[in-house]
Each structure stands twice: as structure tokens, then as C-alpha cells.
Amino acid sequence: MSYFYQAVNQLIHQIHQADPQVSRCRQALDFPPHFSLPDWLAVQTLFPKFYWQDREDREEVVALGACMTFSDPAPAYQAISASQRIWGGRSFDGGTAKNPYCKEAFFFLPQIELIREGDAWFLCANLTARDETIQALQQLQSDIPVLPPIETEVLCVDHAPSRAQWCQLVEQALSAMTQQQFDKVVLARQSTFELTQSIQAAQLLKESRRCNDQSFHFLLAIDQRHSFVGSTPERLYQRHGEALVTEALAGTIGRSEDARQDQALSDWLIHDEKNMTENQYVVDDIVERLTPLARSVEVGAETQLVKLRRVQHLKRHITAELNPTINGVQLLGALQPTAAVAGLPRQAAKTFIERYEPFPRGWYAGSIGYISHQRAEFCVAIRSALVMDKQVKLFAGAGIVSGSVAEHEWLELNRKMSTLLSLITEISPEEVVS
């Protein structure tokens, strides 16, 4: 890829010529239509590695290397210039007594970003540490083999909780609701798959990007030991200046290959009282949290159906006009975690999860995205996996409200988990995850 080396050299020349106050340089470049950013990501040796594609496919980004790292987005926001972005996210329970080894948050100002905006490509460099950034540019790999398809088999699976434990856990939650401890709690399962052959996180990302549309696609690898990867349909929030867009995504049913049956499932979902109540809890929670931060908050009148490859969801659009002093860091703190991944009231639900869920969530159900001075966007890190050589941990959750049935919710976990599981094995979720 001589054109890539040429772009790297042109960008290095820009850096050498840039005035001291310049914090960022970028160089346009041309890629062939078949160029695959996950393929390019897989061969790069710089860490951290970060991949992002927004749900509308307007922007696709790989961020590599770190000029600076942060365990809190607030000082990161203060450290960057108007032209820079920090990438990363907040975990669900990192830094707690239950999960002390997972970071509470991780954000970084990358040395290098390769960005696709529509059909235009840009190679970008942050100049906080110029010599180190030039060295990082010189380490970029341009010999890019196509990632092979995933070829592995499942040796064994371990579920936390097991099916029997899940039923007990749901009953505990329903009992707590009758005692008015909370109105909703989102319970999750971690399924650990031991494989015959190792897979790369970039392989799973590439396959999921091909198969799962209407999703944010992400990958976060702080080091080479493990990668967190996912394809989530859920936006936490998007901010442009004082305009904010968010949503309540809650209420789920499966899909059918038969068009008539699939429509019947849709009709049932949109008229089901339990699922509509679950969605309304999320709407109310988001509105309550945004109201102190905004001049106005509006909820879309129509409940929409989001039809994904394996499941369909109820969604309500929510918009807000923010107060002028509100930034992306404050929004992240206010909205994460939503009632869609924790429950309502938030703290009571989180306390129940911390006490009774038999595994630490880590990055699952956290938030992944970016913050700049004028823009910010985060997705909710569901439909996700932790990839470690021959082991893959998949995660899925289900909202438990009054009237929930444990066996029905277990099957919902299977359907949600199949978003990524079906890319690893041809065995159906009902055969493997039951």
C-alpha cells in the first residue's frame, strides 16, 4: 500500500512543520472500496486499540497508542484541545469490592486515528508528545492480510448463573419487588465458551459488522491479553453542542424466519403490558435524570420497533436541549447505568445485582464511546464478549419486572447471546446455551 506510506510520510512532514500551539494534524488518503478497517486493526501492534462504528455508519474509527491515559473522564476533558477526542468508556462495576481488578473507567487520547467519514478517509495524529507520535506512525503496518473466517468448535460451556440458579435469582428479585425494594432489576448471565481454536477479537468484530446492522460496533483492547468487543443496538446518548439525543430501548421478543409469524411477534410485543411497562420505566428514569441538566426534554409519542437479526425491541426516542454549561462528562455520569441495564430505582437495583449476581460484569453493560468539547457519543455495551485466545465470555441480560417468568427470561438471554454466538458456532443457542 504505497499510498498509505505516502500518507504517513505526508503526515509526519505536517507534524515537523506544525506550530507549537497546533495539537492535531490530519492527512486525507484514498483507500480502495474493499478496504476493511478490522483487517487493518488486526495487524497493528500499538496499544491501546480502539474501534468504533456508529449505528448509522456515518463514521468508522480506529484509535491507536496513547498520548495520555485517564481513569476519570473529567480531567481528560480538561486536558484536550477543541480539535481532539478522547476514546474509551466506563465499566459497570469496575473498582468495586466485587470487581477490584477491572478499571472503573479508561479513556485515552490516541496517538493515531484512522477515520472514515462517509466515503472519505483521514489519517490523524495528536501532537501532545510529537516525537512519540512520529515513532508510532512509523510503526504502522501496511501489509494487511484478509482476516480468515472464524473456524473453531465449542469444547465446553459454563454459565453463571446456571439455569437452576437463574430461576432462583429471578424468584429472589420478584420477592424483593413485592417488598417494594425496587420496581425493576436487570439480571445478566455470563457464558464462558472454551474453544478448540483461538479466535481474534477483530475476526468477531468483522463478522458481526457484516451480519448485525442497526448497531454500534466497538472493540477495546487496553493490552494484548484480552479484548472487549460488541455490537449493540442501544445508544446511551449523542451530544452536539446543546442538542442531545437518547432513547429507551427495553422490551424484547425473538424473530421468526416466517414473515407472518414475525409480524405476529411484533404485534404481540408492542401490545404486551409487561414489555411496555418495562420500557416506560426506562423512559421515566432518563427523563428524571436529564431534567436538571436541560432546558427542555421531549419524549417521542410513538413506540417504535427495532428489528435486529435475532431479536426485536421496543424503543422510544428522547431529545433534550441542554443547559449551556453541561458537557459530555456530566451526561455520562447522569445517564450510566440506565434502567435498561441496571433497574429502577438505580441504586437499589445495583445493590441487588452486586449482592446476588454470581459474576462481576466488568465492561459489560458499561458505556463505550468518545468525548470532545462540542460532541460526544456513547453506546451501551451490551451484546458483547470478552475474547481471550481460546476462551470467549459472552454476556446477556434481561429486565425483570412484576410478572416476569424465569424460564421465559432465560430464553430471552439465549436469543440476545446468539447475536455473537451464532458467529462462533453453528450450534443453536437452544442446544448450547440451555
Q: Work out the average pLDDT over 195-202.
A: 97
CA distance 352 to 173: 8
> Which residues on adjacent β-strands are paired with residue 124?
26, 113
pLDDT at site 33:
82
Instruction: With a cut of 50, say whether residue 433 has pLDDT above it.
Output: no
Q: Is 357 labeled as catalytic in the residue annotation? A: no
pLDDT band at 32 (very low <50, low <70, confident <90, very high): confident
Provide mean pLDDT across the span 95-120: 96
CB atoms within 10 A of CB 9: 13
What integer best gives the mean pLDDT of the chain? Answer: 95
Structural domains present in the chain: 2-138 (no CATH), 154-432 (3.60.120.10)
- Looking from the CA of 371 toward its CB, the CA atoms found within 13 Å total 27
Q: Per-residue pLDDT for 430 more than 60?
A: no
Confidence of residue 2 (pLDDT cuts 50, 70, 90): confident
Average pLDDT over residues 121-142: 95
Residue 278 among known ligand-binding residues = yes
| pLDDT, average across residues 150-155 | 95
Q: Which three cell numbers stand for residue 169?
A: 435469582
51-71, pLDDT tens digit by residue?
Answer: 999 999 999 999 999 999 999
Q: What is 127-160 written as a DSSP string? A: -TTHHHHHHHHHT-----PPPPPP---EEEEEEE
Q: Which residues, in sequence order, are CB contacts of 157 under 8 Å at separation 6+? A: 191, 192, 193, 194, 432, 433
pLDDT at 166 over 50: yes
Residues 6+ apart with CB under 8 A from 235: 55, 216, 245, 246, 247, 249, 377, 378, 379, 380
SS3 274: helix
Residue 234 annotated to the active site: yes
Q: What is the pLDDT of residue 142?
A: 86
Entry pTM = 0.96
**What pLDDT does residue 431 have?**
57
Q: Which one is catalytic: 60, 113, 234, 377?
A: 234
The response to whether 412 counts as a known ligand-binding position is: yes
CA dihedral 261, 264, 270, 275 (to 10 degrees): -60
122 sits in which H/E element? strand 120-126
SS3 308: coil
431 vs 414: CA distance, rounded Å: 10
The catalytically annotated residue of 49, 103, 113, 184 is 184
